[in-house]
């Protein structure tokens, strides 16, 4: 008799619990379940971009949403992957069916169990696909094989990818009939073979939205309906990733005539909105292990470098950079990855020793223009167009810049400035370039026997040694133009009777070094040791050619 009473009592408890769950869910307008192999997954963070909750032990979630953003998403938990569409598109979010707050919706998600504490993630920026400058062909023949190579080289580790904004080019959405939907179809048709986490950039906003107080929100609507939420988070293994939208799109009308489909100047501020900071606080509060490495991905960099190579922390408007760093101060390991500039640099904010920012040069180099005019894919800081490959092992992170040219792992380019100087003194097109652009560096004035090196992904803790015939020379970091980009873009554009684009021309960069050798003929070796003890060594025999083929050389890599 007692056992019957006990069983009946437990039955009443279960019924009461189910009643309470049903009652609670009925008071919410967004509900659903997250499962793996038919079983609910507990503790998965779910958000509408404003409110944040977690699934219960049955995998159920419930939110009362204002439906402002038009989506609901979950933060991928450790040890899982989302379902994929078209082989690359993670289904971690769902568009809401109606903006009516009184209407309830159910959105379920499925996860796949994987072991992914060890993996590689390819982080690139600025693909700028627009159906111009042979960009689609260059992307298919240049970047897609790199993706395939990294998968092969991963040695069985899982390979993920992230693109840090400006996937498209807003000015050409209508003009060249290539918008965000076309970008997604292009990746599908080219068999993009890695789970992609996308980040919105300034050129991914709708330029047909007139300027108003709502422009920023309305202009990101195509991204939020076609690509994914404009800010979200996920976990890969033991690392927590936060994706932010730091574009405040204004599209102000300056009164001039605009291209078809564009109604304003497409201008913007680098800014993280209040809504994102409120969401981020809730998202980070759910991370119990504060030693979890955090990677923040956004488009416009949060920091910069001044002429003395010191970090500037006021890059974003309204103190957004400092607010972001303050929000992350509990976490000892924070990496910010950004794009936008089309060149490489790394910063370490002095006031925030837990933060490192990696501004990564562009996949498109200079909007695919150098590849079109010279066949050399080169950014205007002299870095070859490429991406950063990160290897993750638990909480340990390791990164290396990879190019879409050469052997993919070249880390430097070395110049015999005697031959560069002679070229600048005698080439007529160089003379035209310097006449038309008097602020450009005139390497025809270079002293005798200078050697210069561009170290693409240089960081402050890297060691740079320059030796002449085995004898050390004094290496000095300088702000200078990379002479190779002049060959790869500036001169071919002039020779084609074309006006070089100011945005695509050579820019002064912060990762140049030079040394004065004692002779004009002895070989020079540059040895670079990176943050992880990896050594790269490049020797040139002098006189060394200054030409588009100058990289036919040996660069040794060893530990």
For 117, what's the count of Cα atoms within 13 Å in the CB-facing half-sphere? Answer: 5
Residues 444/424, Cβ–Cβ less than 8 Å? yes
Residues 164/201, Cβ–Cβ less than 8 Å? yes
pLDDT band at 17 (very low <50, low <70, confident <90, very high): very low
Q: What is the pLDDT of residue 331?
A: 98
pLDDT band at 3 (very low <50, low <70, confident <90, very high): low
**Where in the chain are the domains?**
2-72+91-109, 116-403, 412-558
Q: Of the ranges 37-41, 212-216, 394-398, 493-497, which one carries the lowest mean pLDDT score?
A: 493-497
Whether the link from the prior residue into 12 is cis, omega within 30° of 0, is no
Residues 268/205, Cβ–Cβ less than 8 Å? yes
Q: What is the pLDDT of residue 16?
A: 40
Q: Of the ranges 33-42, 46-55, 116-125, 403-412, which one carries the lowest mean pLDDT score?
A: 403-412
Q: What is the pLDDT of residue 527?
A: 97
Q: Return the SS3 of 105.
A: strand
Asked if residue 558 has pLDDT above 90, the reply is no
Rg (CA), the chain: 26
- 190 versus 497: the higher-pLDDT residue is 190
Q: What is the pLDDT of residue 364?
A: 98
Average pLDDT over all residues of the chain? 93
Q: What is the pLDDT of residue 44?
A: 98
Domain 2-72+91-109 and domain 116-403, same fold? Reply is: no
Q: Tell me: the pLDDT tens digits for 400-452?
A: 999 998 668 889 999 999 999 999 999 999 999 999 999 999 999 999 999 99
Q: What is the pLDDT of residue 500?
A: 81
Backbone angles phi, psi at 89, to 5 degrees: -95, 105
Is CATH 2.60.40 what the domain over 2-72+91-109 is classified as, yes or no? Answer: yes
Question: By percentage, how much of the chain surpasses pLDDT 70?
Answer: 93
Asked if residue 2 has pLDDT above 70, the reply is no
Asked if residue 329 has pLDDT above 80, the reply is yes
Q: Tell me: the pLDDT tens digits for 181-208?
A: 999 999 999 999 999 999 999 999 999 9
Q: What is the pLDDT of residue 542?
A: 94
Q: What is the pLDDT of residue 6?
A: 47
Asked if residue 25 has pLDDT above 60, the reply is no
pLDDT band at 18 (very low <50, low <70, confident <90, very high): very low
Asked if residue 252 has pLDDT above 50, the reply is yes
CA triplet 70, 73, 79: central angle to 5 degrees?
A: 170
Backbone angles phi, psi at 137, to 5 degrees: -70, -45
In the beta sheet, which residues pair with residue 480?
509
Calculated CA dihedral for residues 224, 142, 544, 479, nearest 10 degrees: 0
Instruction: Report the 3 state secondary structure along 110-153.
Output: EEEECCCCEEEEEEECCCCCCCCCCHHHHHHHHHHHHHHHHHHH
Q: What is the mean pLDDT of residues 494-507?
A: 84
Question: By percentage, how much of the chain surpasses pLDDT 90?
Answer: 89
Question: Which among 146, 160, 149 is positioned nearest to 194, based on CA atoms?
Answer: 160
Find which of 16-20, 22-26, 27-31, 531-535 is predicted with most confidence, using mean pLDDT. Answer: 531-535
State how far the Cα of 271 lies from the Cα of 273, in Å rounded to an integer.
6
Residues 199/165, Cβ–Cβ less than 8 Å? yes
Q: What is the pLDDT of residue 271?
A: 97
Q: What is the pLDDT of residue 551?
A: 60
Question: Which among 158, 150, 262 is positioned nearest to 203, based on CA atoms?
Answer: 262
User: pTM of the full predicted structure?
Assistant: 0.93
Residue 105 tokens, joined: 């919706």
The string of DSSP letters for 300-356 reads S-S-EE-TTSPEE---SGGGHHHHHHHHTTT-S-EEEEE-SSSS-EEE--TT-TTEE
Query: To which CATH superfamily is domain 116-403 assigned?
Result: Metallo-dependent phosphatases (3.60.21.10)
Q: What is the mean pLDDT of residues 339-356?
A: 97
Residue 539 tokens, joined: 């020797």
State how far the Cα of 495 lies from the Cα of 507, in Å rounded to an integer.
20
Largest Cα–Cα distance of the chain, in whole Å?
107
């Amino acid at each position: 008799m007692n056992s019957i009473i006990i069983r009946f009592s437990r039955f009443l408890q279960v019924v009461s619990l189910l009643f309470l769950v049903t009652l609670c869910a009925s008071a919410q307008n967004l509900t659903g379940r997250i499962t793996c192999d038919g079983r609910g997954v507990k503790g998965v963070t779910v958000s509408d971009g404003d409110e944040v909750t977690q699934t219960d032990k049955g995998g159920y979630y419930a939110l009362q949403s204002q439906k402002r953003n038009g989506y609901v998403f979950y933060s991928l938990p450790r040890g899982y992957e989302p379902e994929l569409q078209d082989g690359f598109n993670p289904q971690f979010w769902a568009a809401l069916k109606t903006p009516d707050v009184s209407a309830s919706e159910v959105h379920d998600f499925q996860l796949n169990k994987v072991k992914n504490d060890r993996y590689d993630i390819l982080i690139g920026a600025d693909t700028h696909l627009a159906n111009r400058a042979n960009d689609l062909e260059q992307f298919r023949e240049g970047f897609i094989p790199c993706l395939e190579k990294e998968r092969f080289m991963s040695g069985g580790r899982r390979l993920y990818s992230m693109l840090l904004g400006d996937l498209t080019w807003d000015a050409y959405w209508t003009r060249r009939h290539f918008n965000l939907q076309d970008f997604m179809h292009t990746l599908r048709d080219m068999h993009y073979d890695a789970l992609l986490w996308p980040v919105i950039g300034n050129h991914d906003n709708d330029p047909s939205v007139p300027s108003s107080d709502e422009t920023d929100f309305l202009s990101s609507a195509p991204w939020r309906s076609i690509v994914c939420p404009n800010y979200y988070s996920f976990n890969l293994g033991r690392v927590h990733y936060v994706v932010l939208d730091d574009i405040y799109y204004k599209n102000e009308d300056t009164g001039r005539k605009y291209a078809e489909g564009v109604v304003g100047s497409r201008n913007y501020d680098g800014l993280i909105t209040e809504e994102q900071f409120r969401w981020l606080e809730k998202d980070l509060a759910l991370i119990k292990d504060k030693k979890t490495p955090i990677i923040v991905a956004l488009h416009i960099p949060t920091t910069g470098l001044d002429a003395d190579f010191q970090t500037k922390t006021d890059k974003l408007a309204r103190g957004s950079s400092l607010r972001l760093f303050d929000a992350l101060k509990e976490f000892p390991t924070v990496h910010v990855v950004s794009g936008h500039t089309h060149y490489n640099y790394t910063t370490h904010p002095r006031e925030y020793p837990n933060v490192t920012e990696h501004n990564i040069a562009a996949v498109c180099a200079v909007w695919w223009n150098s590849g079109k005019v010279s066949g050399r894919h080169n950014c205007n800081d002299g870095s070859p167009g490429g991406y950063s490959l990160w290897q993750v092992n638990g909480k340990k992170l390791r990164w290396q810049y990879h190019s879409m040219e050469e052997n993919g792992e070249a880390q430097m380019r070395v110049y015999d400035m005697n031959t560069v100087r002679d070229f600048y003194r005698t080439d007529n097109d160089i003379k035209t370039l310097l006449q038309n652009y008097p602020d450009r560096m005139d390497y025809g004035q270079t002293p005798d026997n200078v050697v210069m090196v561009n170290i693409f992904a240089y960081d402050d803790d890297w060691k740079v040694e320059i030796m002449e015939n085995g004898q050390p020379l004094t290496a000095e970091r300088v702000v200078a133009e990379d002479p190779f980009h002049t060959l790869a873009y500036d001169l071919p554009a002039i020779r084609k009777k074309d006006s070089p684009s100011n945005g695509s021309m050579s820019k002064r960069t912060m990762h140049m070094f030079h040394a004065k050798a004692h002779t004009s003929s002895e070989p020079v070796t540059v040895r670079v040791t990176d943050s992880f003890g990896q050594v790269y060594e490049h020797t040139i025999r002098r006189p060394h050619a200054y030409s588009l083929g100058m990289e036919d050389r040996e660069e040794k890599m060893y530990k």
